[in-house]
Amino acid sequence: MKIFVKINKFLIFFVLILIFSSDAYCRKDRDYELGLKKIEGKDYTGAVKEFDKVIKRNPKYSYAYYNRGLAYDRMNKLEDAIRDYTEAIKIKPDYYEAYNNRGTVRDTLGDKKGAYVDYCKALEINAKYALAYYNRGIWKSQRGDRRGALSDYNLAVLFDPKYPNAWYNRGIVKNDMGNDTGAIADYNEAIKLDPKFGVAYYNRGNVKRIMKDYDGAIADYNEALKMDSTAVNALNNRGLAKYGLKDVDGAIADYSEAIRINPNYFLPYCNRGIIKFEQRRASGGSAEYMNDFNKAIDLNPNYSIAYFHRGLAKKFLKDYPGAIDDFSMVAKLDSNYAYGYYNRGLVYYDWEKYKEAIPDFNTAIVKYPKYVEAYYYRGLSYFNLGKRNDACKDWKSAEELGSKDAEYLLESNCKE
């Protein structure tokens, strides 16, 4: 799971304090100063009251409207926040910070077009305003425009190279675009700027795990867990990395701890079930793993991977009708998953329903034309139905894809 970091408006707020500290009006208005201090102390209701006083005395003071809007924003009174940001802009049309913040609130309220317009207006006024590039980058990322988002994050880090969130989000986009090395470099920079950036460690760990640097991934998950010992995603994914190192006991311990912390988190149930299934299958033991698959599905009935692995388990237990049902759910939830069709075909094959197996092998091959096992078992299905020529064609295809078993069957059954 990837986590986008949305705009931290307190960063803007602290910038404004520096501006106001040299402002003559600010120096002589104690209510205004007190309002700023109350925002800093997270007393947003108190801040609103102080800015109310300032605005009553000076209805044209744009900064007071802006900071009252910021306080409303933090109180989740978003319509009030928009009203104040808008008033600040009316008084001060070049107030690019107000456009930026109004954009974030509009985005939260679902006014996506309005948000984009505000970000662009902020950048029209100040083409070097990193936070507006950052927010527009998020806007583009959420709509699948990765290249556009990357361009905006590039400008964000160019104009504010010390903003860790921008490096972090650019890392996410690079990862999504397949640039794992570039993603790690950006996560490195984010962590360098903010050594307590827990989700940056977490996402860097995810990339390292995908690259099979399991030791490096575990080190990053450990750091993420130092920041938040209840981070169940980090525990779950550390379990995956430990399993990659064949530390089965360590993986199960992590999945179990994630479940203890959040009994409604479906992923560790499924992952623990996978390990238990592999262990029991190797030893011929009981079906204890079924409880974990069942729980994962109860918690998330749309999680196709849990149905897939429960289907494998039912096939192993020779519960063919149950396995068919589970693989059918996989096909319903993820119609492009070739392995689901292939395994449903295998169930029919083991059940000696060769005619029913063939359409699933057909679909698996359409989804994945180099699926050597699908050609092999479709050939066996044809052979069992007395269709020797079709069987030989499939075994020939499997042989060309590297199957030694298919080569043997060709030699044994397809010589004229």
Extents of the domains making up the chain? 1-126
Instruction: Show Cβ contacts of residue 382 under 8 Å, excluding neighbours closer than 6 positions.
Output: 354, 358, 388, 390, 391, 394
The yes-or-no verdict on residue 354 having pLDDT over 90 is yes
**Cα gap 180→211, rounded to integer Å:** 8
**Cα gap 292→284, rounded to integer Å:** 18
Q: What is the pLDDT of residues 49-66, one digit of tens each?
A: 999 999 999 999 999 999
Q: What is the pLDDT of residue 283?
A: 60
> Given its phi and psi angles, is residue 179 left (phi above 0), alpha (psi -120 to 50 degrees) or beta?
beta
Please choose, from the candidates 262, 267, 242, 265, the residue with its C-alpha nearest in 3D space to the C-alpha of residue 253.
242
pTM for this entry: 0.85
**Cα gap 192→187, rounded to integer Å:** 8
State the CATH architecture for 1-126.
Alpha Horseshoe (1.25)
Q: What is the pLDDT of residue 275?
A: 94
Q: What is the pLDDT of residue 53?
A: 94
Q: What is the pLDDT of residue 280?
A: 81
281-292 average pLDDT score: 74
Dihedral sign for Cα atoms in the order 142, 145, 147, 148? negative
CB 259 within 8 A of CB 270: no
The yes-or-no verdict on residue 286 having pLDDT over 70 is no
Q: What is the pLDDT of residue 279?
A: 87
68-73 average pLDDT score: 96
The yes-or-no verdict on residue 22 having pLDDT over 80 is no
Annotate 375-393 with b (16+ C-beta within 10 A) or e (fewer). Answer: bbbbbbbbbeeebeebbbb
Q: What is the pLDDT of residue 401?
A: 96
Q: What is the pLDDT of residue 29?
A: 79
- The amino acid at residue 149 is A
Residue with tokens 């700027």: 193
The yes-or-no verdict on residue 152 having pLDDT over 50 is yes
Q: 198-210 vs 164-176: helix axis angle to the nearest 10? A: 20
End-to-end C-alpha distance for the chain, whole angstroms: 56
